Every structure is written in structure tokens, then in C-alpha cells.
Chains A and B, each alone.
Chain A
Amino acid sequence: MTSFPLPPVDRRTVLAGATAAATAYSTGLSAAGLASGADEQTVTLRVNGQTHALKLEERTTLLDALREHIGLTGTKKGCDHGQCGACTVIVNGRRINSCLTLALMHEGDAVTTIEGLAGRDGQHPMQAAFVKHDAFQCGYCTSGQICSSVAMLDEIKAGIPSHVTEDLNAEPKRTPEEVRERMSGNICRCGAYSNILDAINEVSGAV
């Protein structure tokens, strides 16, 4: 029996390689002027505490800049139209759909993605709670769910009301009902919602 020595490889290495290839390919196209004749501009983004000076086609979304140019593939492209929430990242403290904003619109902005949520090691408490409560099946929506839920709890803390907040003039509460409403911009096609709620409620200390 012949054994084939394989280089050590994991999913991240494969993805990073694919991203590099895709970037080289698209850069080659635009350098030759074949893609669209689209012009490029420079922008500086602060992503997870690191500064990235990028030269991008003007139409590049923040999502594509993160995934294809910086190589942070943790943020996912689901619908690419702001309906599913898979691309949710935190920009200057607020969660947004990174697919519906241009990278050039974020000069100097601080972006936090799933890769930067915890420090260099370990997990953010929300990540740990998602694992503990099995709050995913396929996992595709998970980075968006986690970024969204972390920023969502900050919104409640900041007193931002929601559609289900009973008294507009009182501080909103961390109830499961509030969490459900506030997470409606994140879709899970596997239907892991009840476990996602359990994970978020544990971190929020829901009342």
C-alpha cells in the first residue's frame, strides 16, 4: 500500500490560498482593463485593530474588501442584498450589513469582524456561548449572528429602543422578546434560532 505524504493543510489555509488566487485573477483583469474599465482609489481601513491601506475598484463593497482583499473570510456573503445578515460586521461600534456599503465610504473607520471579536487567543463570550448551546448547524450565518448579537447587546445597554420596547421613555430590557426582535436582520436557514436565542440570552443575562 502506497502512502501519499500530504502537506499539513486545514480549511483556513485552503480558503486563504483561494482568496489570493481570486485577487490575483481579478487584479490581472482590471490591470488589462478587461473587467469594466473601473477606476481604482485608495482607502485606509482599520480592521480588528490593524491598518490596511487598500487600492480598490470604486464599486468594491466593504464585504468584498474584507474577504477578497484583506483575506478575512470569516465574514460571509449570503444574499449580498442586506436581507440575510450573514455579512454583519461592527463599524465604529455599530453593526451594519457590509454588503450594502462601499469600502471607499469607510476611510479611517474601525471595523470589527468575527476574527477580531476575541483578542488574539481564546473566544469572545458570545462565541463560547454559541458553541456551548450548539447555536448553529451549517455555520454559514454564524459569524453574522455573533457580530450582530454582540453589537445588539451594546445597543440595549445604550438605551436604543426597539419595535417591541413597551415604554419608549424607559430603558429597554434584555428580555428574550427584545433579543428576538433585534436579531430579525439575521436569518438562519438551518433554523437554529432557539439555540441562538439560548446562547445570546445566556450572555445577556436575560431578564
Chain B
Amino acid sequence: MRAFKYSRAASLKDAAARLAETPNAKLIAGGTNLLDLMKLQIETPEALIDVNGLPLDQIEVTQEGGLRVGALVRNTDLAADVRVRRDYPVLSRAILAGASQQLRNRATTAGNLLQRTRCPYFYDTDQPCNKRKPGSGCSAIGGYSRGLAVIGASESCIATYPGDMAVALRVLDATVQISDADGETRDLALADFHRLPGDAPQVENDLEKGEIITSVTLPKPVASRQIYRKIRDRASYAFALVSVAAVIGKDFARFAIGGVAPKPWRSETAERELPQQGVARFSQALFADATPTRENRFKIVLAERVLQSTWTENRG
């Protein structure tokens, strides 16, 4: 691990100001992904600003009847919160399906959203990778791609977003609250938070320099069945090959898919036509622009089957 300057943020404003002023600075909360990457010198920040002391670790009811989840709420606490378990079970389920309990005990809500979108070649510092070293090329295209993206990828990067929590947040229509050094705040739909790689795969989200996630807000709960199904190579502590987060109500159905794209994948347009068109058509529409490799085209078939069984077992 390269040396860096470590400091603790005294306040949100202090953290944002230091983040904006210090060249190559990063915030650290749980640190489970960041330190992993720093040990391999894939991440080499010159300064780490520890935000663990900031008062952003509460889950509160919003005026609209939803929940505001502080950026520093640990994954374990979010998944175990009685309101989340009762009203947003797909979120509890998604979090519990990810990582190990040791990691969930440290990992935070905002940190989870900011985990790097990664692939084996991103981790292998001897190989070209446009995400790790922009312009160096993509080793995954034409390489080992079984676990990688089938849709939303580009000619510069086919890495998959590995997280589970964000897939549930996407299907729940969550929004992200962001604050900057001037105290300006903005709300961003989770749908718009993660970016597709295009020709700049090193930029994975919409945050500007100096901006900090302060919370994630869930809208008022809706009467629904909520399901998170994760298909993976082993029963626990593995990334998804395909995951499906579903919220199925009396006259609507929403699905977000994980493990297939550089961000949680969802189509509201296709969802509206699902009841008339059926799941096969829905899945076709969802993956209409897919560009799978020979090794990962099975994910499209797998996703359709998981969607089919989830829909059949849980519809009205």
C-alpha cells in the first residue's frame, strides 16, 4: 500500500472542503473495497479523509412516509432494521445476499454504492485495463468474460456492477442525497447515479469532485411482494451471475437485474407492457441491445428463466 495522509473529518462541511481542496483525496468509511484496491495499488490516493465520526448513521422516517438512510448506516444495520425488513424486504434480502458478515459489519450504505465496478483484469495490474489505466485497452474483451456484462457495456469496458444493494434500491425507486463543500445539496435518482462506461469507464458515477453522499431515501412503501433472487456459482459469498430484484403489486410489476450490466439494469417501459406481453417478451425487450460474448450469453437465458419463475410464483 502506498503511503497517504490520514485525517478525520470534523464535520460534513470539513470533509467536503478537504475533499475538494486536496489533490487525489478520497473519503474512507468502511474501507472494505478501497483498502483492498489500495493494497494492490489499483487505488493510490494521496490523502484519506475518515468520515466515520460524522453523524450520518441514522435511519429516519421521511415526511412522505418513506425512509431516509444515512450514508454511514452499516449494511448489517440496514438489513436488520425492522422497518426495512417489514416494508422493503427486497432491500434486506439483497444486502444479506452480498459479501460476508464480517464485510457487512463494516460496509456502509454510501460506500456500497461507491464500490468499484470491477472485473478480473481490473485486478490484474499486469494486464491492460481502460478502467485502471485509461487508453490502455480492455483485456476482458476477447478474454475470460463469463461473469461480465452482457448489456450496457462498451468497446472500452465490459465490467459488471457487482453489488446487490443497489439492485434493490433501483427497483425501489430510491434517490441519493448529495452535498458539496458550499453546502449545496442535490437529489439524484439511483437510476442516474451509476454511469455506463462509454469511452470513459474510469468514471463510474455522477458525483463531482468535492461532492459527498449524505443519505439514500426510499419512497413510501407500496403493498407488494418483494423478492431478491441471486444465482451464483456457490451458495454464499460470491458475486451474482444474475440477480433479480422484484416488487410485484396488484396491478404492477417492477424488476431490476443485477450481474448483467455495468449498473443495475431496469426498463420501466418494458415493465408497463409486461402484463399484456408476458415474461418472454419482457425479457426480450430488457435485453434488446445486448452484446454478450460467447462465454456469457447464458446470462440472458438465465435471467429470463429467473424472471419467469419469479413472476409466475408471485403474481396477483
Mark each residue of chain B from 36 to 66: 1 if its CB lies under 8 Å from any CB of chain A, else 0. Answer: 1011000000001010100000000000000
B35 touches A101 (CB 8 A): yes
| Cα-based distance from A89 to B99 in the complex (angstroms) | 17
Instruction: Name the segment of A37-45, A46-54, A128-136, A188-196 touching the other chain.
Output: A37-45
Checking B5, B35, B36, B48 against A39 with a beta-carbon cut-off of 8 angstroms, the contacting residue is B5
Contacts of A163 in B (CB 8 A): 93, 96-97, 236
On whether the beta carbons of B50 and A81 are closer than 8 Å, the reply is: no
Interface residues of A in 76-90 (CB under 8 A from B): 80-82, 85, 88
Structural contact, A95 and B86, CB atoms closer than 8 A: no
Q: Are A168 and B102 in contact (CB under 8 A)?
A: no
B106 at the interface (CB under 8 A from A): yes
- Contacting residue for A184 out of B30, B85, B92, B236, CB 8 A: B236
Expressed in whole angstroms, the Cα–Cα distance for A41 and B97 within the complex equals: 37
Q: Can you list 6 pairs linking A and B with CB atoms under 8 Å apart?
A: A37-B3, A39-B3, A96-B106, A161-B80, A169-B85, A184-B235
Please choose the segment from A17-25, A56-64, A115-123 that sits at the chain B interface, where 4 or more of its residues have CB less than 8 A away: A56-64
* Docked-complex contact A82 and B101, CB < 8 angstroms: no
A182 to B99, CA, bound (A): 11
Chain A residues contacting B102 (CB-CB under 8 Å) are 82, 85, 88, 95-97, 148, 185
Give the CA-CA distance A137 to B248 in the complex, in Å.
48
* Closest beta carbon of chain A to B81's beta carbon, Å: 10
Other than the given A38-B3, A96-B102, 17 more pairs (CB < 8 A) read A58-B48, A59-B4, A59-B6, A81-B39, A96-B105, A100-B32, A105-B50, A152-B101, A158-B80, A161-B96, A165-B96, A168-B89, A168-B93, A184-B236, A185-B100, A185-B101, A185-B237
The residue on A at minimum CB distance from B96 is A163
Q: Flag B96-131 by CB within 8 Å of A: 1 or 0 each.
A: 110111110110000000000000000000000000
Which chain B residues border A57 with CB–CB below 8 Å? 3
Which of A59, A82, A152, A181 is in CB contact (< 8 Å) with B3?
A59
Residues from chain A with a CB closer than 8 A to the CB of B6 are 41, 58-59, 102, 104
CA distance A162 to B236 in the complex (A): 11
Smallest CB-CB A-B distances: 6 pairs: A185-B100, A38-B3, A184-B236, A58-B6, A184-B237, A36-B3
Q: Which residue of chain B lies nearest to A184 when distances are taken between CB atoms in the complex? A: B236
Q: Which residues of A contact B5 (CB under 8 A)?
A: 39, 58
Q: Does A139 contact B (CB under 8 A)?
A: no
Residues of chain B at the chain A interface (Cβ within 8 Å)? 1-6, 28, 30-32, 35-36, 38-39, 48, 50, 52, 76, 79-80, 82, 85-86, 89, 92-93, 96-97, 99-103, 105-106, 235-237
Give min CB distance, B107 to chain A, whole Å.
10
A131–B99 CA distance with the chains assembled, in angstroms: 29
Q: Given the complex, which residues of B lie within 8 Å of A185, measured CB to CB? A: 99-103, 237
A100 to B39, CA, bound (A): 10
Say yes or no: B35 contacts A100, CB within 8 Å: yes
A105 and B31 form a contact (CB under 8 A): yes
Q: Chain B contacts of A100 at CB under 8 A?
A: 31-32, 35-36, 103, 106
Minimum CB–CB distance from B224 to chain A (whole Å) comes to 14
In the complex, how many angstroms separate the beta carbon of A99 from the nearest chain B beta carbon? 8
- The CA of A184 and the CA of B93, in the complex, are separated in Å by 16
Alpha-carbon gap, A87 to B39, bound state (A): 16
CB neighbours of A28 from chain B (8 A): none
| Contact in complex: A102, B96 (CB < 8 Å) | no
- Distance in angstroms from B208 CB to nearest chain A CB is 26
In the complex, the answer to whether A101 meets B1 with C-beta atoms within 8 Å is: no
Q: How far is the CB of A157 from chain B (nearest CB, A)?
A: 12
Given A59-B3, A102-B6, A155-B101, A97 contacting B39 (CB threshold 8 A): no
Q: Does A94 contact B (CB under 8 A)?
A: yes
Residues of A within 8 A of B86 (CB): 168-169
Shortest beta-carbon distance from A149 to chain B in Å: 11
Contacts of A160 in B (CB 8 A): 76, 79-80
Q: Across the interface, name the chain A residue whose C-beta is closest to B236.
A: A184
CA distance A26 to B281 in the complex (A): 63
Q: How far is the CB of A156 from chain B (nearest CB, A)?
A: 11
Chain A residues, CB < 8 A from B235: 181, 184
Q: Which residues of B contact A165 (CB under 8 A)?
A: 96
The smallest beta-carbon distance between A64 and chain B, in angstroms, is: 10
Alpha-carbon distance between A41 and B6 when the two chains are bound, in angstroms: 9
* A160 vs B81: C-alpha distance when bound (angstroms): 9
CA distance A88 to B32 in the complex (A): 13
B106 touches A101 (CB 8 A): yes
Q: Which residue of B lies closest to A60 (CB)?
A: B1
- Whole-angstrom CA separation of A94 from B5 in the bound complex: 27
User: Contact: B3 with A58, CB < 8 Å?
Assistant: yes
